[in-house]
Each structure stands twice: as C-alpha cells, then as structure tokens.
Structure 1
Amino acid sequence: MRYRWLTAAVLGLLVLGCARPGAGDGDAAPLPTPSVTASAPPDVAAGPPPGDGAPHQAENNGWKQRHELTPSEQSTGDALAARIRPKLTALRKAGDFDPASTRKALLDLGLRPDDVGVSEMRQPPGAVFEVRFPEAGCVIGDVRPERVLVEVTGANGEFGCLEPVTH
C-alpha cells in the first residue's frame, strides 16, 4: 500500500509538471498551440524583410518608380541611344565636358530642343543629359573624363527623366 501512495504521488506530480503554463490557474488566455502549415515564399514585391530597411521604405520611395517600357518603346530608346553614344564619345575623346557642347551634340542629331536637357555635373567635371522620347521613355546618362554613360529607361510621373539631386 505504501508503494501505491508513492506511485500515485509521483504520477500526480508528473501530471502537474506537464500541464501548460497558465492552465487552470485562472489565466483566460491559453498559450497558442503551434500548427504546422506549408509556407509560401515571401512576396518579392513586398519589399525587404523587417530589419533591412525602414518600415515603409517601399512606400516612401514609390515616387521614384518609372514607367515600364513596352518592347516597342525599348526598341525606340535603344535606337536613339545608338545614335547618341558616338556623338558623346567624340566629345569625351576631345576632352570637352562642357554642358553646352553636350547639348549642341544632341541637337545636331535632329532632336527637338524641348526633348533635350543638359546640366553640369558637380564632381568630376562633366555633363548630365536627358533625352525624352514618346510615349514615356528617356535616354539618360553623362559625359565625364573616365566614361560616357548612355541608358534607356522609362520616365517618372513626378520628375520626368532625371531624378532630382538631393543632399
């Protein structure tokens, strides 16, 4: 009989020791039970995972989103870029980084003055340019001592082709 009491006491302690924390002590919110579910890969468009950026980084930078070029627009931009690159390469080889020279070279291609924008680079010496083409495309880049950059991209609804300079 002595062993029965001892066995009952040990079993009782085991049962109490295995109870969930908070169970039966008046706690109205039991701990959640884990469930196993298949998880889908994270949505790439949702932005970086927490800790890799500001909580609303994607929303804060939404104004930078550009028009996605159609295949036809991309082709138009590529053809325009192919005409622009040799003119600007010639300027670079001549050591001419003046924005007025860059503008003249672009206008000499027969581009409309309203579609061409050129400004001076701060550092190094050089010129930054934009050429707008229908419907919402841009050829952007720069001429500087170490390179000529010519890129085809979509325009932005807020700022057009060139992103404003910020500090």
Structure 2
Amino acid sequence: MRAAKISWSTGAASLALLALGCAAPDTRVGDAQAIPTSPSASPAVAAEPTGPQADAPPNHADNNGWKQRHELSAADQRTGQRLAAQIRPRLDELRAAGDFAPASTQRALLDLGIKADAIEVTAMRPPIGQEASPPGAVYAVRFADVGCVIGDVRPDRVMVEVTGSAAEFGCLEPFSH
C-alpha cells in the first residue's frame, strides 16, 4: 500500500512539473494561468500588427517623411494629365526609334515647348553591384509649382506618371544607396 502511495505522489508531482514546464513565461506556482484548466485549452495567441507598416521599424515614417509628395488638387491633376498626354507620344517615338539617350529625351521635352528649368533628365541608374547603366533615361517635368510628370524611356516601355512634388527634392527622388 505504501508503494502505491509513493507512485501516485510521484506521478502527481511529475504531472505538476510537466504542466508548469508548459506554462506561459513569467508564471509562478500558484498563478491561475500556470496550469491549464482543461486538456483542450490552448494558450492565448497575441495578435501580430497588420497593415502597411507591420514590418517597418517604429521610426520608418519619420525617416521617410522627406519623400512625401504634395497632394494634387483636381485642377492640378487635370493639368498634369494634359501634359502627360502631350509627353507620351513624343517619348513613344523615341522608344520606337531605339533612342534612349538622355539628351534625346531632353530635346523631345523641349520641343514640346516646356521650359528648360522645368525639365530634369538623367541616365538610368546601374543596378546595385553593376557599373554599367542600362539603356534609358529618367525624366521629370515640373508644373504648377506642386506637380510633376515623371517617368522613363526604356527599350521595354515608356512610363508617364502624374504625381505631386516633394518639398525636399522636387520631382525626382535622389539616389540614396
């Protein structure tokens, strides 16, 4: 009989230790959550943050605030769309001719009557780890002091986008790597 009591006590102690081993971190003996109340009880699951900034560091918005662009009014958006509609056919002609030189893109924009100080054109940036730039040109045309028509001319496409300018850099975001 005495052997049975020891076995039962040892078994109960083993179960208690096993249950405490599965307890939530920072629980102590006597805590209500240290031992589950039923075999089917599952531990609480903390919800992970969701949304566009779920994986971003806490200061992501502050660090990238300089990239924020002005919101365009409906009138400014229409102005930008009209300008984009003039720009696209000229850049499509360059692409069809296989001319991706920044100087040619600059000339095509000037030929539309856009003032030189409103135009910015650069060569494509080389991919990280490579020295040679791919064929193409990146451009920006500033309008109405708040808007930009930005894009590029490449062998595989012509991109034309209407967006607001940024207070820190204007139309073309500077290369930061």
Q: Tell me if TM exceeds 0.5.
A: yes
How many correspondences in the alignment?
A: 125
- Give 1:59 deviation, angstroms: 1.4
The unaligned stretches of length 5 or more in structure 1 are 1-19, 23-41
Kindly report which structure 2 residues correspond to 1:14-33, keeping only aligned pairs within 5 A, or say none: 21=31
Cα contact 1:88–1:143 (8 A) shared by 2: yes
Identity %: 61
Identify the residue that residue 110 of structure 1 maps to in structure 2: 113
| Partner amino acid, structure 2, of 1:106 | L
Query: What SS does the aligned partner of 1:48 have?
Result: coil
Cα contact 1:73–1:135 (8 A) shared by 2: no
TM-score, normalization: structure 2? 0.66
Where do 4+ consecutive residues of structure 1 move more than 4 Å? none
- Give 1:43 deviation, angstroms: 10
Q: 2:124 aligns with which of 102, 121, 124?
A: 121
RMSD of the alignment, in Å?
1.9
What is the distance in 2 between the residues matched to 1:117 and 1:21? 67
Identify the residue that residue 5 of structure 2 maps to in structure 1: none
Cα contact 1:126–1:142 (8 A) shared by 2: yes
Deviations 1:68-127, CA, capped at 9 Å, x for gaps:
000000000000000000000000000000111100000000001100111111342111
Query: What SS does the aligned partner of 2:121 have?
Result: strand
Query: What SS does the aligned partner of 1:67 have?
Result: coil
Cα contact 1:77–1:152 (8 A) shared by 2: yes
Q: 2:104 aligns with which of 90, 96, 101?
A: 101
Q: 2:53 aligns with which of 40, 48, 51?
A: 48
- Give 1:135 deviation, angstroms: 2.8
Identify the residue that residue 90 of structure 1 maps to in structure 2: 93
Identify the residue that residue 151 of structure 2 maps to in structure 1: 141
Q: 1:62 aligns with which of 55, 59, 65?
A: 65
What is the distance in 2 between the residues matched to 1:58 and 1:117? 27
TM-score, normalization: structure 1? 0.70
